[in-house]
Amino acid sequence: MPLSRILLSSFVFALVFVLNTKIVSAASDCSDSPIDATVEGLGVSIASGTSEHTITIKSRYLEDGNYRIGISPQAGDIISPKSYSNYAAKSLGVDTLTLTIGGDALIYSDPQGFAEDTKHAYLYKEGNIINICKAGTYNIVKDPRLTCSAFQIYQYQTFDNNGDGITEQNKCYSSGCLDAKSEIFITGGDFKNREDVVNWGSLTFKCGKEGDAIGFCLNRTLSIINGQLKTYGSDLSVHWGPGTWSYTPQSLFVGKNWEGACQGSIEIRNSCPPDECHTTFRNPKSEDETTVFELCTQISDPTQRTNCQDCASSDASDADGQAGVWTAIGCIKRSPTSIIQRFIRLGLGIGGGVSLIMTLAGGLILTTSQGDPKRTGQAKEMITNAVIGLIFVIFSVMILQFVGFTVLKIPGFGIK
């Protein structure tokens, strides 16, 4: 074979080989790589929890075979994607791959809990662990639901707390008295987004004095670590003088206020007496727990309202109608002795009243019997039973005295 023909054949073979060489290593972008692909379904935002999402890749330069999309949470994670789509076949006359992702690929997993969660999609050929190219990215988003618990707000006050003449530093919480002279610290918060603990987040702190507009207390952000606000002191203290202050933390990422007990108010005074220092953190109670129900104010009748107020009060005489609990039947004394005595008197009164009514009824029947033996006997029997019942009621006091006080030691039975 002439040398010229050999050289020509070699040139043609090399040209064909170069033109048909396919990419087997990672490329930056499928649309810019030699496969010149058109990608649809990426570069979009998808709601977290969506059941499935379709991605299409169209290229006439792909080799025949099966392909799938690998999803990674970080750019450059080309070896071990966290999830994959289904396989789709490229063959003669079929240039479009229709790939479906779901499951973890569509679940929000941003550890900060605020920003959109960006996922990275890479194209893989079956049997290869190295991707062909990066198909693009998409964002998983979810509506934030920001909740929080009460901050621990405190300062250190110096005074003698045990009467030994030596002053000590005492940690005083905002449930007691805070003064404007000592540095005020704030920490905690238990920050969550949809029940997930927020980590490495940030917030801005808004506050305002009573009667003034709410504004930003600081020109810089505060850090949240493992759901808790880091301890901050002088940054906030310089903004809080004497008065009542309300405060609200706001998310830096989404611009929404945190909702819950971390919104509140504190009172700052010029000075604080030692006995108003609360050395134990007290979680603020809900409005239902702190609202006082005033029973007597619910009574519209002036006389009854006065009696109710007298019942709730007491003096040295401890008279009836005082030191008791107001009920629908009047004032019931709070002491066990008074309660027992009241019920005994009530029982004796009912028993005596029934005996009297039966005696009167028997006398009426006897008067109107007109000599009828049957009615006369009925009247006598009724009067006899009434007298026996009255005697039993009278002697029951002695029985109750013995059994209730001497044997059972029930308070109230020993009072004569």
| Radius of gyration of the chain, Cα coordinates, nearest whole angstrom | 44
pLDDT score recorded for residue 288: 45
pLDDT in tens, 48-103: 888 899 999 999 889 999 999 999 988 875 567 889 999 999 998 899 999 999 99
Mean pLDDT within 264-268 = 88
**pLDDT-wise least confident of 4-8, 16-20, 79-83:** 16-20
Q: Are strands 243-251 and 38-40 parallel, antiparallel or unpaired?
A: unpaired
Is the pLDDT confidence value at 316 over 90?
no
- Look at residues 116, 122, 120 and name the one whose alpha carbon lies nearest to residue 139: 116
Asked whether 48 and 113 are in contact (CB, 8 A), the reply is: no
* Distances in whole angstroms, Cα of residue 80 to Cα of each of 29, 134, 214, 262, 323: 18, 14, 49, 42, 77
Is there a common fold for 25-141 and 147-290?
yes
The residues spanned by each domain of the chain are 25-141, 147-290, 302-407
Mean pLDDT within 314-326 = 64
pLDDT score recorded for residue 70: 94
Distance CA 102, CA 68 (A): 13
147-290: CATH number: 2.60.40.10
Is the pLDDT confidence value at 241 over 70?
yes
pLDDT score recorded for residue 96: 94
- Sequence length of the chain is 416
pLDDT score recorded for residue 121: 94
Residue 359 vs residue 241, higher pLDDT: 359
* Distances in whole angstroms, Cα of residue 261 to Cα of each of 10, 223, 237, 252: 80, 18, 21, 19
pLDDT score recorded for residue 164: 84
pLDDT score recorded for residue 196: 78
Fold of 25-141: Immunoglobulin-like (2.60.40)
